[in-house]
Amino acid sequence: GKIASARETSRATVALAWHFTKDCVTSPIIGATKIHHLSQAISALDLELSKEEIAAIEEPYRPKAPTGLKMMPLTIEKVSLTV
Q: Tens of pLDDT along 17-52?
A: 999 898 876 666 767 889 988 899 899 999 999 999
Tell me how far apart the alpha carbons of residues 9 and 79 are, in angstroms, rounded to a whole number.
56
Q: Give the residue among 21, 81, 71 at the shortest CA–CA distance from 45.
A: 21
The amino acid at 78? K
The amino acid at 29? I
pTM reported for the whole predicted model = 0.69
Residue 50 pLDDT: 97
Q: Give the residue among 62, 57, 46, 52 at the shortest CA–CA distance from 18.
A: 57
> Average pLDDT, whole number, for the chain?
83
Residue 53 pLDDT: 97
| Helix, strand, coil percent content, the chain, rounded in steps of 5 | 40, 0, 60
> Does the pLDDT of residue 4 top 80, yes or no?
yes
pLDDT tier at 73 (50, 70, 90 boundaries)?
low
Which of helix, strand or coil describes residue 52?
helix
